[in-house]
């Protein structure tokens, strides 16, 4: 196959694929264009990118939204509805739903997925760890081959609200979860929330794990756990100099309501600490603001100000038809499209950066960011002429994984 004049990292290139790998790659402006070989499939224009990555989803609860409809649309009802059914889940049910959702992700070009799993559901913890290990040994060309799954030990109801929660949380980390999670804003008191952050760092240090917090997912401007996460990351040496983004803070929607001087301080602190904030616009635009009349807040973290401060920001889908959000598609372009609207990131450079985030900064929780070069065997091709058009249409790319084209 020969891709001619495709946009890659802002320049037009020719790329020849032989035996499933990129065998030649030249900039059109810098050399002689590649000429088609006999029998070669030629694709003109469009864009080539690395695969995308999903930094924040809940595969334990995926596809369960219709079983327990969230009639109020609130975060708290979603948590309560999930808690009401998690004890009925079976290993087979968890695996089937997770595999279905992963196939949707792969069909849209996502090959890395980080899932949170509620440590209050041991069945789901064990099932998703099993699935992670199965994917690691999948044969190239087989179903879901080439996908990477990382699992976060997430205590959905906190670790200090009642006896037994902390033990379940630690058990999940001990079983082999890739990252330690916490939900400090959901603990009983501000002080217990801060204590839970420190306990999460303690556990990560003990087992050599990464950290991924649900952090300040509220409209309350007094919810100030993110600064504690940043301070702990700095003091304990969990900064960006380590492999990938070692500490992730998801949601951070309270920042939307912070006083501006305090928000400026926190944005700077996030950048200094090397903590990556992951925005989840699809969920938060409907879950936040539920206590508001009109005008009603959007409830999205300050992506533009985090960017200006030099912080890393990822974009998560969060929910795929689960008790919190029924409309999920596992298409990260939908999340990117929503973020551009609700965060008012409609400048040309801003929209292009949102698109590139899916294939760049979204990979940081997993480690190295993939680059297309000679020898690459996993990549995407979009027919759109540029990043903005790809987001406008939210098209399905052609997906090439470990030398094989994935068909829907």
Provide mean pLDDT across the span 347-368.
96
- Do 131 and 105 belong together in one domain? yes
- Do 42 and 94 belong together in one domain? no
pLDDT digits (tens, 9 = 90+) for 130-166: 999 999 999 888 889 999 999 999 999 999 999 999 9
* Number of domains observed in the structure of the chain: 2
**What CATH number is associated with residue 6?**
2.30.40.10
Provide mean pLDDT across the span 73-78.
89
Strand 11-18 with 2-8, pairing: antiparallel
Provide mean pLDDT across the span 359-363.
97
- Do 335 and 381 belong together in one domain? no
pLDDT of the residue at 243: 45
pLDDT digits (tens, 9 = 90+) for 217-245: 999 999 999 999 999 999 999 875 544 45
Distance (Å, rounded) from C-alpha 370 to C-alpha 359? Answer: 8
Go through the chain and tell me how many residues it has. 408
Q: 39 lies in which domain range?
A: 2-49+372-406
Distance (Å, rounded) from C-alpha 73 to C-alpha 53? Answer: 27
Distance (Å, rounded) from C-alpha 338 to C-alpha 342? Answer: 6
Provide mean pLDDT across the span 179-201.
98
- Do 41 and 78 belong together in one domain? no
Would you call 31 helix, strand, or coil by DSSP? Answer: coil
pLDDT digits (tens, 9 = 90+) for 87-130: 999 999 999 999 999 999 999 999 999 999 999 999 999 999 99
Distance (Å, rounded) from C-alpha 328 to C-alpha 322? Answer: 8
Distance (Å, rounded) from C-alpha 271 to C-alpha 29? Answer: 36
CA dist 289 → 74, 216, 300 (Å): 9, 14, 10
pLDDT of the residue at 241: 52
Percent of the chain with pLDDT over 70: 98
pTM exceeding the 0.85 threshold for the entire prediction: yes
Closest CA to 112 of 143, 136, 91, 129: 136
Residue 298's Cα: distance from chain center in Å? 20
Q: Residue 368: pLDDT above 60?
A: yes
Distance (Å, rounded) from C-alpha 111 to C-alpha 98? Answer: 14
Active-site residue (options: 217, 350, 373, 405): 217
pLDDT digits (tens, 9 = 90+) for 309-353: 999 999 999 999 999 999 999 999 999 999 999 999 999 999 999
Is 268 considered catalytic here?
Answer: no
- Do 211 and 187 belong together in one domain? yes
- Do 183 and 328 belong together in one domain? yes
Burial of 241 (0-12, 13-18, 19+ CB in 10 A): exposed
- Do 272 and 308 belong together in one domain? yes
- Do 352 and 272 belong together in one domain? yes
- Do 204 and 334 belong together in one domain? yes
- Do 400 and 257 belong together in one domain? no
- Do 253 and 230 belong together in one domain? yes
**What CATH number is associated with residue 86?**
3.20.20.140
Q: Is residue 57 a contact partner of residue 329, using CB atoms and an 8 Å limit?
A: no
- Do 395 and 297 belong together in one domain? no
């Amino acid at each position: 196959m020969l891709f001619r004049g495709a946009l890659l990292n802002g320049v037009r290139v020719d790329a020849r694929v032989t035996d499933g790998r990129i065998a030649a790659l030249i900039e059109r402006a810098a050399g002689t264009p590649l000429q088609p070989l006999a029998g070669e499939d030629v694709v003109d224009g469009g864009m080539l990118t690395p695969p995308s990555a999903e930094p924040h989803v809940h595969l334990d609860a995926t596809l369960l939204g219709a079983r327990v409809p969230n009639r109020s649309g609130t975060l708290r009802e979603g948590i309560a509805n999930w808690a009401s059914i998690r004890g009925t889940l079976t290993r087979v049910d968890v695996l089937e739903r997770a595999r279905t959702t992963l196939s949707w992700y792969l069909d849209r070009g996502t090959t890395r997925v980080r899932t949170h799993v509620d440590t209050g559901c041991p069945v789901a913890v064990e099932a998703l760890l099993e699935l992670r290990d199965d994917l690691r040994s999948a044969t190239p060309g087989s179903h879901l081959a080439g996908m990477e799954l990382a699992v976060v030990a997430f205590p959905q109801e906190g670790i200090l609200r009642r006896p037994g929660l902390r033990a379940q949380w630690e058990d999940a980390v001990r079983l082999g979860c890739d990252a330690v999670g916490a939900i400090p804003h959901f603990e009983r008191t501000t002080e217990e929330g801060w204590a839970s952050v420190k306990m999460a760092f303690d556990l990560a240090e003990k087992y050599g794990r990464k950290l991924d917090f649900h952090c300040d997912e509220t409209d309350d401007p007094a919810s100030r756990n993110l600064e504690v996460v940043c301070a702990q990351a700095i003091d304990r040496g969990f900064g960006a100099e380590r492999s990938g983004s070692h500490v992730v803070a998801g949601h951070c929607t309270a920042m939307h309501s912070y006083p501006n001087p305090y928000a400026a301080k926190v944005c700077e602190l996030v950048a200094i600490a090397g903590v990556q904030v992951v925005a989840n616009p699809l969920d938060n635009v409907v879950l936040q603001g539920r206590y508001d009349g009109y005008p009603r807040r959007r409830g999205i973290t300050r992506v533009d100000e985090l960017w200006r401060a030099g912080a890393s920001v990822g974009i998560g889908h969060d929910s795929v038809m689960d008790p919190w959000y029924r409309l999920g598609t596992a298409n990260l372009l939908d999340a990117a499209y929503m973020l551009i609207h609700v965060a008012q990131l409609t400048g040309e450079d801003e929209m292009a950066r949102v698109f590139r985030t899916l294939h760049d900064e979204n990979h940081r929780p997993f480690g190295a960011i993939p680059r297309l070069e000679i020898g690459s065997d996993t990549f995407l091709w979009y027919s759109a002429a540029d990043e903005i058009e790809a987001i406008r249409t939210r098209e399905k790319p052609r997906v090439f994984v470990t030398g094989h084209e994935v068909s829907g």
